[in-house]
Amino acid sequence: MMFDGVNLVAVAAAAIASFVFGSVWYGLLGKAWMRAASLTEAQTRPDPVTLGIAFFCQLVMAFVFAGIIYHTGETSIRAGIISALMIWIGVVMTTQIINHRFQGKPWSLTLIDGGHWLGVFVVQGIVIGWLS
């Protein structure tokens, strides 16, 4: 199913895959992330509404990212990975670095969160490139 060049099945699959990736990432790095973010375990227990919002945002992200990949002129795994790296370096990490420096957060938080978003974009890029 396509929407102006964007494969909606690929978008849904990319959102699900990247959401699962995030669960694994923070499952492995959760304690380090809590320390870096100065949060307790009780403060980080997401409720169903928060999880729903997070998934919805990943769905929007995958849709927009699929549009970006489509507009490169080549919808492939290679284009997906290259686009992921460019968006991550040029938009995501620069934003994370600026925000965390102004918030006085440690570099470890920037690396954990930044690594998560790199994984999200690479997973989405691979799935979108593969299924489109």
The answer to whether 15 touches 57, Cβ cutoff 8 Å, is: no
Residues 57-82: what's their mean pLDDT? 95
pTM for the full model?
0.93
Residue 52 has pLDDT above 80, yes or no: yes
Token output for 117: 């978003």
Look at the alpha carbons of 31, 32, 35, 38 in this order and tell me if their dihedral is positive or negative. negative
Residue 5 has pLDDT above 90, yes or no: no
Identity of the amino acid at 45: R
What whole-number distance in Å separates Cα of residue 8 and Cα of residue 107?
36
Q: pLDDT-based confidence at 2, cuts 50/70/90?
A: low
Residues 118-132: what's their mean pLDDT? 97
Our measurement of the distance from residue 69's CA atom to the centroid of its chain's CA atoms, rounded to an integer in Å, reads 15
Bridge partners of 2?
7
CA atoms within 13 A on the CB side of 55: 13
What's the mean pLDDT when you consider all of the chain? 95
Q: pLDDT-based confidence at 4, cuts 50/70/90?
A: confident
